[in-house]
Amino acid sequence: MTMANIIGAGPRPWVFTIGVDPDSELARELERLAPTLTAIDDLSLLRQVDYDAAVIVSDEGVKGLQDHLQVVWFADHGTAPVTRLDRPGPMGPPMWTYWEDGDRASRFGTTDLAAELNVASLATRLAPPSTDNDYRVMSKTNWLTEQRHPLLEEVGGKQGTLAAIYDRNKEKTSEVWCLPERALADGADWVKAALAHWRSSFPEAFPNPDWTADETWMTADEQTARLELGRHDADTAALLEVRRLERTEREVAAEEARVRADAGIRRLITTNGPPLVEAVADALHQLGFEVVDSDSVLPAGQKREDLLVQDGSWVSVTEVKGYEKGNAKQNDLLQLGSAVESYLLRTSRAPDARWYVVNQNFRTPPGLRQRPLAGAGDTITKFIAQNGLVIDTRDLFRLTRAAATGEVTPDEARRLLRGAEGVFDYPADVSEELAPEAAPDHPAPPTTAD
């Protein structure tokens, strides 16, 4: 028998709530979005078949919800209102979906579904603020694959779900949004998103409250304006796709630059041994110095420097040291003295300078390292008297980068190094140091890096 008129039927959707604070923003938003709304504290107080959806705040879990209801459930305990799952084979009794304790993950990811439903930013705010405390996740089983649709889940490990949509039955005629209680901070937005989703999936039960947005009831002028708006959105989407592809290209370029830096100039602050010597030689060469690796040109067995650094007729005997956990050592200056004596015996002339280049404590982030030989006042004073200079590889890194960006010219960079005393410091107030000087009595070496 067909009903010609139904007495007492309010406009849809028909929604009831359990446990929602009547003074909350969530309650006020529900009053706006659900024209037929009932607040109860016991299912026996209404006939569920008269309703389309339920919004529930309950840690006890609500048993007895009928399968046709769409549900938003805020909880940290209890069992989700999902049809129990029968384990295949002899695996034991049926299973339920429930919240459980004990997770301490530190990485979380929103899913494509969260983006599609415009809740990715809401889901991001559900990640635990600290990994020092246990938190709860919705249990995951191998038998939930088809019914479980995560919005936010852990990355790696068992991938516990912090927010998800579950089909309430195998027929997929209804669903439940399972959200932790901390989602109540954005509860109104979550419910709004759920209703918008149900509106597209179940339009009869969840009609669009703005019927003027239905094209059936638009004027010709509105239809034209909407068409133009659609074209604009399509053009915008195309532009965004172009920009996305451009960004991907730039991400690849940035990663390639990082790899080159790790294998190149950044070795100044990350390595020791031969790789560090090679990095120091490359950096000085970029500044226009002529650099000779003494090990490659002198017979084995002679005590010698690591590098000879030349700027025209000017020569520095240079020792390079790297320490993974320790700091620069005063004894290294004695070793440098032996290298100077060896140079004097080989060439019958004293070098113009002796440089001690050190990458100290390089397992520590560069910004947290001490200055080399801090507190070695008398030692540094004697070293200066011998035309000695201590160069922290961090400062050499900064100076080389400054020359590459044009902050200083290679000529200026070489002049800074040749004129420095004690412990080289860059950047510093270099305005006076960079003042023009008399032309050298020898031609400047080439300043172009290989």
pLDDT(435) > 60: no
Report strand pairing: 135-138 vs 99-103. Answer: antiparallel
At residue 443, the pLDDT reads: 43
Average pLDDT over residues 151-160: 80
Instruction: Give the lowest-confidence range in 228-232, 371-375, 406-410.
Output: 371-375
- Cβ(389)–Cβ(355) below 8 Å: yes
- Cβ(26)–Cβ(20) below 8 Å: yes
Question: pLDDT grade, residue 441 (50/70/90)?
Answer: very low
At residue 298, the pLDDT reads: 66
Average pLDDT over residues 349-378: 91
Average pLDDT over residues 17-37: 91
Instruction: Give the lowest-confidence range in 29-43, 170-184, 210-224.
Output: 210-224
Amino acid found at 18: I
Instruction: Give the lowest-confidence range in 207-221, 264-278, 309-323, 402-416.
Output: 207-221
Task: Give me the chain's average pLDDT, please.
Answer: 84
Give the range with max mean pLDDT: 158-172, 382-396, 416-430.
Answer: 382-396
At residue 5, the pLDDT reads: 54
At residue 430, the pLDDT reads: 45
- Cβ(25)–Cβ(41) below 8 Å: no
Fold of 266-423: Restriction Endonuclease (3.40.91)
At residue 440, the pLDDT reads: 43
At residue 279, the pLDDT reads: 96
pLDDT(447) > 60: no
pLDDT(166) > 50: yes
Is the bond into 13 cis (omega within 30 degrees of 0)?
A: yes
At residue 448, the pLDDT reads: 37
What residues form DSSP beta bridges with 53?
15, 70
Q: Is the C-alpha dihedral spanning 187, 188, 191, 192 positive or negative?
A: negative
Question: pLDDT grade, residue 140 (50/70/90)?
Answer: low
**Mapping DSSP to helix (H, G, I), strand (E, B) and coil, where does residue 307 land?**
strand
- Cβ(154)–Cβ(103) below 8 Å: yes
User: What are the tens digits of pLDDT across the range 70-103?
Assistant: 999 998 888 878 876 554 554 444 445 667 776 7
- Cβ(286)–Cβ(403) below 8 Å: yes
At residue 61, the pLDDT reads: 66
pLDDT(350) > 70: yes
What's the predicted TM-score (pTM) here? 0.55
Q: Is the C-alpha dihedral spanning 139, 66, 19, 185 positive or negative?
A: positive
User: What are the tens digits of pLDDT across the range 109-124?
Assistant: 899 999 999 999 999 9
At residue 184, the pLDDT reads: 94
At residue 155, the pLDDT reads: 84
Average pLDDT over residues 415-427: 92
Domain spans of the chain?
Answer: 14-210, 266-423
Give the DSSP H or E segment for 337: helix 331-347
At residue 134, the pLDDT reads: 67
pLDDT(431) > 50: no
Q: Residue-wise over 266-276: b if at least 16 C-beta within 10 A, else e?
A: ebbbbbbeeeb
Instruction: Give the lowest-confidence range in 214-223, 265-274, 317-326.
Output: 214-223
pLDDT(180) > 60: yes
How many CA within 13 A on the CB side of residue 199?
Answer: 17
Average pLDDT over residues 346-359: 94
pLDDT(331) > 70: yes
At residue 133, the pLDDT reads: 61
